């Protein structure tokens, strides 16, 4: 069976990288137990059924959760603290996404439970706070049952969530999240103190004021929770554009990647199963690729130069290499459905993808990218049909990123700023995908009057979908115009008097489904395998 071939491929890595091989073994064992084995699925279902026996059910609480959510407001005196937690969560998004790929629970829900249960500590089991250096000792004891200690946090967290049956849920609505958060913490508030809404969900909001368990079984009417509630954190993640359930009925890959990278589901044939396995493994290994050993920070800084679309040279690449040739390699592997981040660094995740590619194409499996591997990559990528809505980088080859998406001094930056070494004034701006201009001209923060300001281009699903916002520009097209991907649409505004009072640069924001300023995502991963204009 193809999945066995994939497992064998992982086993061959032991001599290449001991840490990576141990992690791969654990992921394979976990996947076999909880995602591909009928017995594992039955175990998960039995956990769900047992936990629900004699306790509240979702159907009876769905409307209540929806009403509480609709009426909830975050307390202003707690907002700064909530934002600090959001910043920490976002900084570790890649680690939570690795767990999402193993369990199909939304990454931000994983992050919320981790914050409540372990204050975001990556050195402890999510099950109960026991150290990762051994299996759990406290209830539930002996977890994870498979794999070998010390465990990675990702594998342990996935086991903890599957143990509670959270890997079996397909429809993650807001109400369902609230139900599962409360079930995770226990029904004590609802069953024995119904006049108090559980602070596990509602602390730091208008839905909770006082009353809490101060120890197991010990109740205080006057004690006040000092921990941010799950639904408060969820709401703030929504407000900052990091969490969005609008298109989620079943969770797998991030919504913005679905169209380009949706793998075949297990059961759709051996090729689909193998692709699912290899994609999950490569994606999970970004934890090793990007973080240091104890998860305290980034091992490699994010690349500032635009990576994708670089023409690959026939140079020999091996682990530890970096630069444009590695970026070209990663972009080609992404085209072939290996879930890689194009970061210009040949780390463990890239090495695993290369070795799996070599195995599948009957090449020497050594992780070295030489002439034969380059040629096989070219043939394979040329055979992939170009997807509808090919995307382009907004500036030509050689641009730099001057400010990334995410937290920065002064607040949350809901886009990516692009520029040029030595100055960006007057540089051409190109449409990243085809569509129709829906806004143009002067705009608050972007400058004016018209033609200075911004452009917003809306794209159909066939064109790539969503809306793209271009700011601090002088437009060359107008509202109602049709544009094609790669078309010259503007220039970076050189005049600080009309560009919002900032140094010349392009601000690019992406809304993956429709125009919604509260649903902006990081443009760089969304652009993914974009090509350069011209």
Query: pLDDT-based confidence at 204, cuts 50/70/90?
Result: very high
* 137 and 229 in a common domain: yes
| Within a domain: 427 | yes
CA 282/CA 289 separation, integer angstroms: 10
What pLDDT is recorded for position 246?
Answer: 52
* pLDDT at residue 10, as a whole number: 37
Instruction: Flag whether pLDDT at 257 surpasses 90.
Output: no
Q: For residue 431, tell me if it sits in a domain.
A: yes
204 shares a domain with 66: yes
pLDDT tens by residue, 431-490: 999 899 999 999 888 999 999 999 999 998 888 889 999 999 999 999 999 888 888 999
Residue 99 confidence (pLDDT): 92
347 pLDDT tier (thresholds 50, 70, 90): confident
Round the average pLDDT of the chain to a whole number and report it. 76
Inside any domain, residue 533:
no
Does any domain span residue 395? no
Domain boundary among 319, 351, 382: 382
What 91-97 contacts at long range (C-beta under 8 Å, 24+ apart), as own/partner pairs, is: 91/407, 92/120, 92/122, 92/295, 93/242, 94/286, 94/287, 94/290, 94/291, 94/341, 95/122, 95/153, 95/154, 95/287, 95/291, 95/295, 97/254, 97/283
Domain match, 218 and 71 both = yes
Domain for residue 249, yes or no?
A: no
Whether residue 235 is predicted with pLDDT greater than 80 in this model: the reply is: yes
104 plus 234 within the same structural domain? yes
Q: Is residue 191 in a domain?
A: yes
Same domain, yes or no: 345 and 426:
no
Cα 260 to Cα 246: distance, rounded to the nearest angstrom: 18
Judge if 313 and 212 occupy the same domain. no
**CATH number of domain containing 271:** 1.10.101.10
What pLDDT, on a 0 to 100 scale, did the predictor assign at position 216? 64
The last residue of one of the domains, among 352, 382, 412, is 382
Same domain, 298 and 362: yes
Decide which of 105 and 329 is more confident: 105
* 258 has pLDDT over 70: no
pLDDT at 122 over 80: yes
Confidence bin at 342 (pLDDT 50/70/90): low
| 224 and 81 fall within a common domain | yes
Per-residue b or e along 148-186, where b marks 16 or more CB atoms closer than 10 Å to that residue's CB: eeebbbbbbbbbbbbbbbbbbbeebbbbbbbbbbbbbbe
- Give the model's pLDDT for residue 290: 36
Q: Which residues of 293-306 are buried (b: 16+ CB within 10 A; e: fewer)?
A: eeeeeeeeeebeeb
Which of 348, 382, 416 finishes a domain? 382
Say if residue 27's pLDDT is above 90: no
304 neighbors 401 (Cβ within 8 angstroms):
yes
Residue 189 falls within a domain, yes or no?
yes
Residue 108 has pLDDT above 70, yes or no: yes
What's the number of domains the chain is made of? 3
Is 227 in the same domain as 376?
A: no
Which domain CATH number covers 446?
2.70.70.10
Q: pLDDT-based confidence at 95, cuts 50/70/90?
A: very high
pLDDT in tens, 479-505: 999 888 888 999 999 998 998 889 999
Phi and psi angles of residue 355, each rounded to the nearest 5 degrees, phi first? -70, -35
**What confidence tier does 366 reach under pLDDT thresholds 50, 70, 90?**
confident
Lowest mean pLDDT among 24-33, 41-50, 525-534: 41-50
Same domain, 194 and 48: yes
422/482 same-domain check: yes
Instruction: Give the C-alpha separation, 312 to 319, whole Å.
Output: 17
Residue 105 lies in a domain: yes
CA–CA distances in Å: residue 324 to residues 86, 156, 329, 531 = 33, 35, 9, 14
At residue 5 the predicted structure's pLDDT band, cuts being 50, 70 and 90, is very low
pTM assigned to the model: 0.42
Axis crossing angle, helix 348-360 with helix 270-284, rounded to the nearest 10: 160
A 10 A CB-CB count for 502 gives: 15
129 three-class SS: coil
CB 487 within 8 Å of CB 430: yes
Domain of residue 302 covers 266-382
Task: Verify that 229 and 91 share a domain, yes or no.
Answer: yes
**CA dist., res. 319 & res. 284, Å (int):** 18
């Amino acid at each position: 069976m193809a999945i066995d071939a994939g497992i064998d491929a992982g086993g061959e890595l032991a001599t290449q990288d001991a840490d990576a091989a141990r992690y791969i073994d654990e992921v394979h064992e976990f996947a076999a137990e909880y995602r591909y084995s009928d017995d594992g699925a039955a175990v998960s279902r039995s956990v769900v059924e047992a936990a629900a026996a004699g306790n509240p059910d979702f159907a009876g609480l769905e409307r209540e959760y929806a009403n509480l959510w609709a009426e909830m407001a975050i307390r202003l005196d707690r907002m700064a603290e909530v934002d600090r937690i959001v910043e920490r969560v976002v900084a570790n998004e890649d680690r939570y996404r690795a767990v999402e790929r193993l369990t199909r629970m939304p990454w931000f829900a994983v992050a919320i439970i981790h914050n409540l249960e372990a204050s975001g500590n990556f050195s402890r089991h999510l099950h109960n706070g026991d150290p990762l250096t051994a299996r759990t000792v406290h209830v539930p004891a002996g977890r994870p049952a498979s794999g070998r200690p010390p465990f990675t946090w990702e594998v342990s967290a996935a086991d903890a969530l599957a143990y509670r049956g959270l890997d079996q849920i397909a429809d993650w609505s807001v109400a369902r999240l609230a139900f599962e958060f409360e079930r995770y913490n226990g029904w004590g508030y609802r069953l024995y103190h119904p006049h108090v809404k559980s602070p596990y969900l509602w602390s730091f909001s208008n839905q909770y004021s006082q009353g809490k368990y101060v120890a197991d079984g010990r109740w205080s009417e006057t004690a006040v929770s000092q921990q941010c509630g799950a639904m408060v954190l969820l709401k703030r993640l929504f407000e900052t554009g990091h969490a969005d359930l609008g298109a989620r009925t079943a969770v797998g890959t991030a919504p913005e990647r679905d169209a380009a990278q949706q793998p075949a589901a297990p059961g759709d044939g051996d090729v689909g199963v193998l692709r699912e396995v290899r994609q999950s493994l490569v994606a999970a290994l970004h934890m090793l690729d990007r973080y240091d050993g104890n998860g305290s920070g980034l091992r490699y800084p994010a690349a500032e130069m635009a990576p994708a679309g670089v023409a690959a040279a026939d140079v020999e690449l091996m682990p530890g290499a970096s630069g444009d040739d590695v970026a070209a390699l990663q972009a080609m592997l992404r085209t072939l459905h290996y879930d890689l981040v194009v970061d210009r660094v040949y780390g463990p995740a890239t090495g695993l993808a290369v070795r799996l590619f070599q195995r599948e194409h009957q090449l020497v499996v050594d992780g070295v990218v030489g002439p034969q591997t380059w040629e096989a990559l070219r043939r394979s990528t040329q055979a992939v049909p170009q997807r509808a809505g090919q995307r382009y980088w907004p500036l030509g080859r050689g641009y730099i990123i001057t400010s990334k998406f995410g937290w920065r001094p002064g607040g949350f930056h809901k886009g990516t700023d692009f520029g040029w070494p030595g100055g960006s004034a007057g540089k051409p701006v190109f449409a990243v995908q085809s569509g129709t201009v829906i806004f143009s001209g002067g705009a608050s923060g972007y400058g004016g009057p018209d033609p200075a300001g911004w452009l917003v281009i809306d794209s159909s699903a066939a064109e790539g979908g969503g809306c793209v916002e271009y700011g601090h520009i002088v437009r060359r097209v107008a509202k109602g115009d049709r544009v094609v991907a790669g078309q010259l649409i503007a220039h970076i505004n050189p005049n600080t008097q009309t560009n919002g009072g900032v140094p010349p640069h392009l601000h690019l924001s992406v809304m993956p489904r429709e125009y919604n300023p509260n649903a902006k995502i990081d443009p760089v991963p969304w652009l993914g395998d974009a090509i350069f204009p011209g």
